Amino acid sequence: MSSTPAATLTRTVTSDGPVLRLAGRLDAQGVAAVWDQAVREAARPGGARLGVDASAVDYCDISGMALLVEMRRQAEAASA
């Protein structure tokens, strides 16, 4: 069992626009915990200016990369 917590996602708004901060492990278990919220947040109007802060991510596998790609896809669709 890992002592690193599952992934978390928080949203803040800066003068440059919204920022989604990911933390923890972006593996299959961690991504499952934040997928719906992350995709929903990325799809909000104004997504083209969405920032992602992954500085607190401890580990990222292909599941985490898939999440980041889907977040980008949703943000681009929201800004079209």
* pLDDT tens per residue across span 21-32: 999 999 999 999
Counting DSSP H helices and E strands in the chain, the numbers are 2, 3
Give dist(CA 39, CA 25) in Å, integer.
17
Reported as a single tens digit per residue, the pLDDT across 61-78 is 999 999 999 999 999 898
pLDDT in tens, 34-69: 999 999 999 988 656 789 999 999 999 999 999 999
